[in-house]
Chain A
Amino acid sequence: MFDYIVNVSGYILEGSLITFQLYLVTAVFSVGLGIAGALGKISKIPFLQAILSFYTWVFRGTPLLLQLFFAYYGLPVLGITLQPFPAAALTFIINYGAYFTEIFRGGIESIPEGQYEAAEVLGLNYRQTMSRIIIPQTVKRVLPATSNEAINLVKDSALVAVIGLGDLLRSAKVSVTRDFSIIPFIIAAIFYLVISSIIVTVFRKLEKKYSVYE
């Protein structure tokens, strides 16, 4: 029994490699996309605002699973064929980028006007004001919402199994079917809980670090 658990765990762990890769790529690029999107949304360029509103409307308003199907099965119709991993990564980045755009926009807009004015009368330009005064304060305010998204992403990553990527959940499913045992599912659940717990801990540390002021 013990040997079986070790074996299956090893197999599931292999699958979780894909999960980790997808997680990392999505986290890095979607946060970047979110910052860019938020800055675009608070800009005073109507055209840019309209495009970004359409973007967040579509990607927050349709199921991630549908977007995944579209990237993998739909794009080839248009002549763009992606391998499963790039298709999944692209979908996740764009989808999470839409959520982060709205989270960061809300965060930036919650910073009082007085902060901009203080920076302005001290002579700071727009770039200096955003990077040194506004964004650092925004980070603290968006941490709780970002933490939620970070945990959602762990769980959402399981969706990639539907386009044939051998991730954590798919490895577990394969084991369940092969061995006629639900133990692999329990192991998978434990894996997800461990990953989520690590993320929660990291964010709690961050929030604590930022709580030195206020």
Chain B
Amino acid sequence: MIKAKNICKSFTDLEVLSNVSFAVKQGEVISIIGPSGSGKSTLLRSLIGLEKINSGQLFIEGTQVKDDNKIAYRKMGMVFQGFNLFPHKTVLENLIEAPLVVNKEKKALAIKRAENLLKKVGLFDKKNSYPAQLSGGQKQRVAIARALAMKPDIMLFDEPTSSLDPELVGEVLTVIKDLADENITMLIVTHEMGFARDVSDRVFFMDQGKIISDTVPEKIFVNPESKRIQTFLTKILSQNDSSQ
């Protein structure tokens, strides 16, 4: 489904991704964890073409992604930490924008699918609201539905709950969990360790631009082999405890 070979990415002098290689199979759910600045977000952004990689190869469903990233967009949906909903459009308009403009779908059809997606994320009654009238959790659920409206094979989540109040995190994670059960391939950058453990088939642990561990969740969370992972987990788990 996704294959990355020796991906490198630098911002001027700073190497953010160094020789990253991995493969993701259809339907797999991957959590990407690690300290901030380790390159997690940059990895996701490179996959969908928001960042241009300096070297390495990227294959999506067998096709190599080149500078023209049309393939990537067509196959992938992305959810951002900051939601990035279109504030001047209603919830429903946010969902049908790309299907109408990019895919030239019939309006009635696009609306019908958008409404079904809104029911799925539990926000059908908000379809005529503007983003500013929604809570953070609701905005993020709309953003997920908006990405799904383009029928992606792969969903990328870049810290989807990091800018939410603690009591709103659950509703967003529930929606993502439901998606995981639907066999959509997903890559999720997250700091929610409990969620990562529950939902993922594999966990990538990143540090200093490298995936230093790529394994099943039990192995990372129950019995972390590397000292660096242990230190990270101890730190983040104690933070989570104190915030609860």
* A interface list, Cβ under 8 A from B: 112, 114-115, 117-118, 120-124, 128, 132-133, 136-137, 140, 212-214
Task: Check A117 against B102 for contact (C-beta < 8 Å).
Answer: no
| Stretch of B71-79, B109-117, B226-234 on the interface side | B71-79
How far, in whole Å, are A213 and B74 apart by their CA atoms in the complex? 30
B84 and A213: CB pair below 8 A? no
Give CA–CA (A1, B217) in the complex, Å: 94
Q: Point out the residues of chain A lying under 8 angstroms from B78, CB to CB.
A: 121
How far is the CB of A84 from the nearest CB of chain B, in Å?
Answer: 42
Q: How far is the CB of A122 from chain B (nearest CB, A)?
A: 4
Q: Is the CB of A118 within 8 A of B84?
A: yes
Q: Is the CB of A123 within 8 A of B98?
A: yes
Contact A115/B86 with A120-B50, A121-B50, A123-B98 known, Cβ cut-off 8 Å? yes
Q: A124-B98, A213-B131, A214-B130 are in contact. Are A117 and B84 (CB under 8 A)?
A: yes
User: Given the complex, which residues of A lie within 8 Å of B195, measured CB to CB?
Assistant: none
Which residues of chain A are within 8 angstroms of B48 by Cβ–Cβ distance? Answer: 121
Would you mind naming 16 contact pairs between A and B with Cβ atoms under 8 Å apart?
A: A112-B84, A114-B82, A117-B80, A117-B84, A118-B80, A118-B86, A120-B50, A121-B73, A121-B147, A122-B97, A122-B147, A123-B98, A124-B101, A132-B97, A213-B87, A214-B130
Q: Which residues of B contact A (CB under 8 A)?
A: 48-50, 70, 73-74, 76-78, 80, 82, 84-89, 97-98, 101-103, 130-132, 146-147, 150
Question: Once the chains bind, are A114 and B87 in contact (CB under 8 Å)?
Answer: no
Inter-chain CA distance A124–B169, complex, in Å, is 29
* Chain A residues closer than 8 Å to B89, beta-carbon distance: 213
Query: Chain A residues near B77 (CB, 8 Å)?
Result: 121
Question: Do residues B146 and A122 form an inter-chain contact, with CB atoms below 8 A?
Answer: yes
When distances are taken between beta carbons in the complex, the residues of chain A under 8 Å from B130 are 212-214
Q: Which residues of A contact B50 (CB under 8 A)?
A: 117, 120-121
Complex CA distance for A115 and B150, rounded to whole angstroms: 17
A140 to B87, CA, bound (A): 11
Task: Give 3 nearest A-B pairs by CB, closest first.
Answer: A118-B84, A122-B98, A114-B84
Task: State which of B73, B84, B88, B132 has its C-beta within 8 Å of the C-beta of A123.
Answer: B73
CA distance A124 to B80 in the complex (A): 17
* Cβ contacts under 8 Å, A120 to chain B: 49-50, 73
Among A120, A123, A124, A136, which residue has the most Cβ atoms of chain B within 10 A? A123
CB distance from A49 to the nearest CB of B (A): 22
Contacts of A121 in B (CB 8 A): 48, 50, 73, 76-78, 147
Contact between A115 and B98, CB atoms less than 8 A apart: no
A212 vs B129: C-alpha distance when bound (angstroms): 10
> Beyond A122-B150, A213-B131, A214-B132, is A137–B98 a contact (Cβ under 8 Å)?
no
Q: Is the CB of A122 within 8 A of B87?
A: no
Complex Cα distance, B130 from A140, in Å, reads: 15
Task: Give Cα A212–Cα B84 distance, bound, in whole angstroms.
Answer: 18
Q: Provided the pairs A122-B97, A123-B74 are in contact, do residues A114 and B80 lie with their beta carbons within 8 angstroms?
A: yes
CA distance A36 to B78 in the complex (A): 32
